[in-house]
Amino acid sequence: MLAARFYAPGEPLRVEEVPMPAAGPGQVLVRVTACGICGSDVHFVEGRALVAATPITLGHEPAGVVVETGADVTDIAPGQRVVVRPGAGCGRCRACASGRDSLCERTRVLGMHVDGGLAEYLAADALSLIPVPDGVPLEQAAIISDAVATPYHALVERGALQAGESVAVFGCGGLGTHAVQLARLAGAATVIAVDVRASALDRARRAGADIAIDPNQERPARRIRELVGGVDLALECVGRADTIGEAVKSLCRGGRAVVVGMGPDAIQLPPPNVFTWSEHALIGSFGSTAAHVRRLLGMAASGRLDLSASVTAVLPLSDVNAGLDMLRAPGGDAGRVVVQPGRE
């Protein structure tokens, strides 16, 4: 089969023939019909994030059709349309038992620890598969597993967003744009988008942002306090110390800042007397749970969650490097790029 293989930072992915995987015990073989390209994939290629070993097949947002099941798999059948979560919980540890499978210490992430979904076929743990309802295109199902479920987890689970609250989203790429859309869907009274790219702010407005702020023109936290007196919830999707700091400063008293973005910068906080006096909370958020993915797929199937504008480009596997270029182009307007392995 063909797969997009990552060998070393700074090099383009190599689309080459590799052995077809087999479904081992507890696994399922999936014919991949759609796989999203994430900002994390760009970071791997640029050397800003590390994979466990190389060469490795990238891609942690795959969806497709089951073609074979391994031993001990009884609840999934060939022909079933499925989304494969980036990492599956073991189902036995303390985190999994408490419903927080995104924190499972035994998780092996696709395209980071094991071969991912930028390939014609993928052998995945059965626990990582979630059926896709009729009517949901697999291109949209693929991005739900990460680009949509990750901000949903951050807003609803970690940020405890309540209807009528105000929200600011710092960084409106794939995650942030969906955060804007989901905050609106969850009943936020005011949604503020913050980004340095005009195209990203335009996209955020289309997704439902009431206010758009460009940090090149004004200090976001100061402007947010002027407009609404501070927000109840700030979501940081960049992973930089300065944007995390602005997110905290944008809060009203009792507000929560949730950090989704990943980066190497040390976090700088206000002095304790300021932080405690205002009862601010700084919260980390990683991935999502299986329950969240199922919920979002159901919302998409019912028409409640409209993702028709989320996928801005669909490419064959041979053009995977062009897809990476779309995401890292300065001032680019790419939302989510999806690759269709095997479809030239």
pLDDT at 11: 94
Contact (CB, 8 A) for 153 and 97 = no
3-state SS of the chain: helix, strand, coil percent to 5?
30, 25, 40
Dist CA 209 CA 181 (whole Å): 8
Contact between 224 and 213 (Cβ < 8 Å): yes
Does residue 342 have a pLDDT over 80?
A: no
Tell me the domain boundaries of the chain: 2-146+288-340, 160-284
Q: What are the tens digits of pLDDT across the range 208-222?
A: 999 999 999 999 999
Q: What is the pLDDT of residue 343?
A: 53
CA distance 113 to 66: 22
One of 3.10.129.10, 3.20.20.70, 2.60.40.10, 3.40.50.720 is the CATH number of 160-284, namely 3.40.50.720
23 vs 96, higher pLDDT = 23
Residue 344: pLDDT band by 50, 70, 90 thresholds?
very low
> What is the pLDDT at residue 99?
81
CB atoms within 10 A of CB 330: 5
pLDDT score for 273:
84
Q: Is the pLDDT of residue 78 over 70?
A: yes
Q: How many CA atoms lie within 13 A of 303 on its CB side?
A: 0
For the chain, percent of residues with pLDDT exceeding 90: 74
The string of pLDDT tens digits covering residues 83-135 is 999 987 777 888 888 888 888 888 888 999 999 999 999 999 998 999 999 99
**What mean pLDDT do residues 49-61 have?**
92
Query: CA 248, 99, 182 angle in degrees (round to 5)?
Result: 45
Tell me, what's the pLDDT at 316? 95
> How far apart (Å, rounded) are the C-alpha atoms in residues 237 and 244?
9
- Report the alpha-carbon distance of residue 200 to residue 39 in Å, rounded: 14
**In whole angstroms, how far apart are CA 171 and each of 20, 142, 236?**
38, 22, 7
Angstrom distance (rounded) from CA 294 to CA 144: 9
- Which two structure tokens, joined as six digits, stand for 178? 């969906």
Q: What pLDDT does residue 332 have?
A: 61
The overall average pLDDT reported for the chain is 92
Q: Does residue 320 surpass a pLDDT of 50? A: yes
Determine the Cα–Cα distance for residues 28 and 34; give it in Å rounded to an integer.
17
- Per-residue model confidence (pLDDT) at position 156: 95
Percent of the chain with pLDDT over 70: 98
CATH class for domain 2-146+288-340? alpha beta
239-296 pLDDT tens trace = 899 999 999 999 999 999 999 988 788 888 888 888 888 999 999 999 898 899 999 9
* 194 φ, ψ (degrees, to nearest 5): -125, 125
List pLDDT tens digits, range 180-236: 999 999 999 999 999 999 999 999 999 999 999 999 999 999 999 999 999 999 999
Q: 39: closest CA among 339, 341, 336, 340? A: 336
What distance in Å separates the CA atoms of residue 136 and residue 303, rounded to the nearest whole number?
9
